[in-house]
Amino acid sequence: MRLYYHPLSSNARRVLMTARHLGIDLELVQVDLAQGAQNRPEFLKLNPNHRVPVLEHDGFVLWESYAIMQYLADLTPGQTLYPADLKARADVNRWLFWCGQDFMPGAAILNWENAIKPRFGIGPTDATEVARGERLMTAAAKVLDAHLADADWLCPNGPTLADFAIGAPIGNQESGKYPLGAFANLQRWHGQVRALKAWEASQPQP
Ligand SMILES: N[C@@H](CCC(=O)N[C@@H](CS)C(=O)NCC(=O)O)C(=O)O
């Protein structure tokens, strides 16, 4: 099984965390995003959206990180990251969709403006964009923090795919200057995510 990824991509990291936790071996293929390798015809055949991660398994090609996480979990007998019970699975799905729709837009803006642009010398930080990213992220963080006030993990009997999906991008909170410092419940929960073996095992390699 092969995963096209980039070490700085938290969209790829949530998939790596899932694979590491489940004990699934992946052949990692790094796509050089800084050099535009995602726009080459051979990669566009795999993912016309020019994005990582992409999974290849026995000739089946799958893009979109949340779909890949679900696929890996469903391949693994006895796993608990993605429960089979209808309501428990719907609860995990709720947070996966919420992550894509409500959390990632702010994270993507702040990561791009505060971390990626300066690191790769892609022009000055746009203060209007930073303010928009901070507004989006603060709104999402309030929901997350309130939910975690009386919950150890996002869904009962965690960790689940929900914790990996949202925990992975929060790994960039320092470099991306995410306005999350005051959210104590969120920070306590993220400390638990960072204590998982899958966190260490999915660290971006230099
Ligand atoms: N919704 C997608 C987002 C993937 C994504 O945005 N990947 C970024 C890296 S974090 C990428 O490959 N960007 C390259 C580009 O857009 O050209 C997922 O969850 O897999």
112, 148: one domain = yes
Do 113 and 184 belong to one domain?
A: yes
Question: Is the minimum distance from the CB of 72 to ligand 1 under 6 angstroms?
Answer: no
C-beta of 20 in contact with ligand 1 (< 6 A): no
* Domain extent at residue 37: 2-74
For residue 41, give Cα distances in angstroms to 1, 37, 46, 134: 22, 9, 9, 35
70 and 94 both lie in a single domain:
no
What angle is formed at CA 175 by the lines to CA 173 and CA 181, rounded to 5 degrees? 35
Instruction: Read off the pTM.
Output: 0.97
pLDDT at 59 over 90: yes
54 and 100 belong to one structural domain: no
**Index of the ligand 1 atom closest to the CA of residue 31:** 12
Please work out whether the CB of residue 11 comes within 6 Å of at least one atom of ligand 1. Answer: yes
State residue 185's pLDDT score. Answer: 98
Same domain, 125 and 150: yes
Q: Is the C-beta atom of 99 inside 6 A of ligand 1?
A: no
The 10s digit of each residue's pLDDT in 147-187 is 999 999 999 999 999 999 999 999 999 999 999 999 999 99
Domain boundary among 31, 48, 74: 74
Tell which of 52, 74, 96 closes a domain. Answer: 74
Task: Please indicate, yes or no, if residue 206 is contained in any of the structural domains.
Answer: no
pLDDT in tens, 133-150: 999 999 999 999 999 999
How far is Cα 173 from Cα 146, in angstroms, rounded to an integer?
A: 19
